[in-house]
């Protein structure tokens, strides 16, 4: 879903690896928020661990050195946990508050109205499907 060109179309500057990573982390934060429960705890932890291992590999592929990778990963982890905190009450926020929350992470985006609608639809999509429907064929459990 983070490959959707509409997400990036109104960026002030050209979108970057970091912009794409932020969109991915936002999607992942909503994903974990919707499916977080005792029944899914183990599988979500495995997914979380896998995602951040893959992110680290991606950052390495870009060419960052070991010290830079550690700092970059720490930044991404802190950003991600900040996202989880900000979207915790997403369903109870009005559209203006939702825009404010998104702009914290996507200050490069000028299409905040579109993004609010987009993430509202994404949350509904997640809520109307099971965790298994998203991981079927990807994760063996």
pLDDT class of 15 with cuts at 50, 70, 90: low
Q: Identify the residue whose tokens are 């996202």.
A: 83
Angle value at C-alpha 48, between 46 and 53, nearest 5 degrees:
95
What's the helix, strand, coil split of the chain in %, to 5? 75, 0, 25
pLDDT in tens, 34-50: 999 989 999 999 999 99
Domain definitions of the chain by residue range: 15-135
Q: Which band of pLDDT confidence, cut at 50, 70 and 90, is reported for residue 22?
A: confident
Q: How far apart are the first and last CA of the chain?
A: 24
Quote the pLDDT of residue 63: 82
pLDDT mean over 60-74: 86
Quote the CA–CA distance of 86 and 44 in Å, as a whole number. Answer: 20
Q: What is the pTM of this model?
A: 0.86
- Give tens-digit pLDDT for 70-121: 888 999 999 999 999 999 999 999 999 999 999 898 876 677 888 899 999 9
């Amino acid at each position: 879903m983070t490959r959707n060109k509409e997400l990036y179309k109104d960026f002030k500057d050209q979108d970057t690896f970091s912009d794409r990573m932020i969109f991915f982390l936002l999607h992942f934060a909503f994903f974990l928020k919707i499916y977080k429960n005792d029944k899914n705890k183990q599988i979500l932890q495995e997914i979380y661990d896998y995602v951040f291992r893959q992110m680290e590999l991606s950052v390495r592929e870009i060419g960052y050195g070991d010290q830079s990778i550690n700092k970059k990963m720490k930044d991404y982890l802190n950003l991600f946990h900040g996202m989880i905190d900000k979207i915790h009450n997403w369903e109870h926020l009005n559209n203006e508050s939702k825009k404010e929350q998104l702009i914290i992470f996507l200050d490069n985006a000028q299409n905040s109205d579109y993004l609010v609608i987009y993430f509202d639809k994404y949350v509904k999509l997640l809520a109307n499907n099971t965790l298994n429907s998203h991981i079927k064929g990807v994760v063996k459990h």
